[in-house]
Structure 1
Amino acid sequence: EVQPRPKPKKKSKPRPPAEPETPIVEKTNDARVVLVVGDFLASGLAEGLDTAFADNPAVRIVARSNGSSGFVRDDVYNWPAQIKSLIETEKPAVVIVMLGSNDRQQMKVGEVREQPRSENWTKEYERRTDALGKALQETKVPFLWVGMPAFGVSKMNSDMLAFNDIYHSVAQSNGGEFVDVWDGFVDENGAFVTSGPDINGQPVRLRSDDGINVTKAGKRKLAFYTEKPLAKILGLAAPGSITTVSAPAGAPVEAPKPAAAPIIVDRTAPMLLGDPALDGGTELLGAAQPARA
């Protein structure tokens, strides 16, 4: 009998190369603490910063986020009331705030439930955000306020842009700095993107299927925008600044240095060919005594 030939084995697809692991170093006892507070996006930002500063023993990232918190439901968690005790406990060198993704909902103002972004809703929202800004200013700890990114739900984005205007104003009026991450999560037309360039300019998936949560690469990109102002406050070089890394799309670009002043060239006055006073023609060649060796 003729034996059936064995079926050829399917060739397995080559696996993509694994990401190089960031070397993790043990933090020193006197490492400076960066306290990250806010909602679930703040938690992702803290993860990204943890990766960015993994090889720096002098900086420790501490996340004290509450995923479902915001300014609207202060009955769930009241950030203006809690921030001072958090700062007293953690003793941070810098505080980073990222809040607002849960705030597109009705807010109880007095006995009335106000609709999102109505006049009374907005006034109360501004008051609550400013209360956090004032509480941070009173602690005298430098702070960064990171804005909201774009989301896959188009109805959310106009609200998030309005929220960012409020956060920007509150940060500036209370001595903080606003960090705008919007351009890192939209295309050149300003539309939300699920995938885009990572911190090295390579195309990656930045957001999950729901258009709200961020991937590992997205968390790292959130951190990228925060690294430079954070390093400035800490008096450090930004992570990865020694090597040349192409900035992701939408990253803030430094203004070019002014050009050096033009060198002024003095022009020699025109000389007549027959003018012996200007070409040394009054002296005969060989008239001078030769110098002794």
Structure 2
Amino acid sequence: MSRVTRCLVTAVLIALSVIMVEPHSSVRAATTAPSRCLLRPALQLAPTDPPSAPAQPNRCTILAIGDSVGLDLGIGLTREFANQKAVALVSRGVISTGLVHDSFYNWPAHLTNYLSRWHPDVVVVCVGANDHSPIYTNGRSVPLLTLPWQAAYQARIRQIANIVHRYGAQIVWVGVPVSSTG
């Protein structure tokens, strides 16, 4: 395993024990439920969609999604958890995607399908490597890193987090590694 992959895997494993994206205040909290995974959330959210298939007892399902960096992270996590029967890992990274250009690949729509199909306990998200351009919202382009761009990007992050929480899963958001520009 390469050094970069090892670092990403280590970061995710650490994040699995300490980091969660909090749901928006409009997302209704339910009673705390026992978790089969490493995280013990402060609150568990009730799914708004039809009930999912029963999860296998004592098995934690992790869904790893993201752009090409997220794809590499999913590969590393798959290797890392390959011999752990208590963990089922599903990796769904898509090259050249992100949150800025949702007309190319709509992460919220695909995420909803993934959650319905695999019913994960934890969703690991790694996007951002391709999000270094203007964001399109309400039919117009918003310049990169302006306050309106930041607000629109934050709204897309919150949308992803709220979808995950509505399905009763926990979310771990992994930042894109810093790389040199020259």
TM-score, normalised by the number of residues in structure 2: 0.63
What letter corresponds to residue 88 of structure 1 in structure 2?
Answer: S
Displacement after TM superposition at 1:112 (Å):
2.8
Cα RMSD of the aligned pairs, angstroms, is: 1.9
* Separation in 2, partners of 1:111, 1:95: 30
Task: State the Cα deviation string for residues 87-138 of structure 1 (Å, max 9, x = none).
Answer: 1101222111111110001222334322211122111111111111111111
* Separation in 1, partners of 2:124, 2:115: 11
Work out the percentage of aligned pairs sharing the same amino acid: 28
* Separation in 1, partners of 2:104, 2:114: 16
What letter corresponds to residue 148 of structure 2 in structure 1?
Answer: N
Counterparts of 1:187-206 in structure 2 under 5 Å? Answer: none
**Secondary structure of 2:172's partner?**
strand
**Residues 1:150 and 2:178 are matched in the alignment:** yes
**Residues 1:119 and 2:112 are matched in the alignment:** no
Displacement after TM superposition at 1:57 (Å):
2.2
What letter corresponds to residue 45 of structure 1 in structure 2?
Answer: L
**Secondary structure of 1:108's partner?**
strand
Paired residues in the alignment total: 126
Larger Rg: 1
**Residues 1:41 and 2:69 are matched in the alignment:** yes
Displacement after TM superposition at 1:54 (Å):
2.1
CA contact (8 A) 1:109 1:121 kept: no
Given candidates 106, 120, 125, the residue that maps to 1:78 is: 106
* Separation in 1, partners of 2:178, 2:87: 29
Displacement after TM superposition at 1:81 (Å):
2.6
Displacement after TM superposition at 1:71 (Å):
0.7
CA contact (8 A) 1:39 1:68 kept: yes
Unaligned runs of 5+ in 2: 1-55
Shift in alpha-carbon separation, 1:150–1:59, aligned structure 2, 3 A: same
Task: State the Cα deviation string for residues 201-244 of structure 1 (Å, max 9, x = none).
Answer: xxxxxxxxxxxxxxxxxxxxxxxxxxxxxxxxxxxxxxxxxxxx
* Separation in 2, partners of 1:33, 1:70: 23
CA contact (8 A) 1:38 1:65 kept: yes
* Separation in 2, partners of 1:43, 1:111: 29
What letter corresponds to residue 177 of structure 2 in structure 1?
Answer: P
2:11 equivalent in structure 1 = none
What letter corresponds to residue 107 of structure 2 in structure 1?
Answer: W
CA contact (8 A) 1:43 1:67 kept: yes
Displacement after TM superposition at 1:82 (Å):
2.5
Given candidates 43, 65, 69, the residue that maps to 2:97 is: 69
* Separation in 2, partners of 1:63, 1:121: 29
Counterparts of 1:169-248 in structure 2 under 5 Å? Answer: none
Unaligned runs of 5+ in 1: 1-29, 155-293
What letter corresponds to residue 151 of structure 1 in structure 2?
Answer: S
2:83 equivalent in structure 1 = 55
What letter corresponds to residue 70 of structure 1 in structure 2?
Answer: G
2:124 equivalent in structure 1 = 96
Displacement after TM superposition at 1:63 (Å):
0.7
CA contact (8 A) 2:65 2:91 kept: yes
Q: RCO (CA 8 Å, sep 6+): is it higher in 1 or 2?
A: 2
CA contact (8 A) 2:124 2:173 kept: yes
TM-score, normalised by the number of residues in structure 1: 0.40
**Secondary structure of 1:77's partner?**
coil
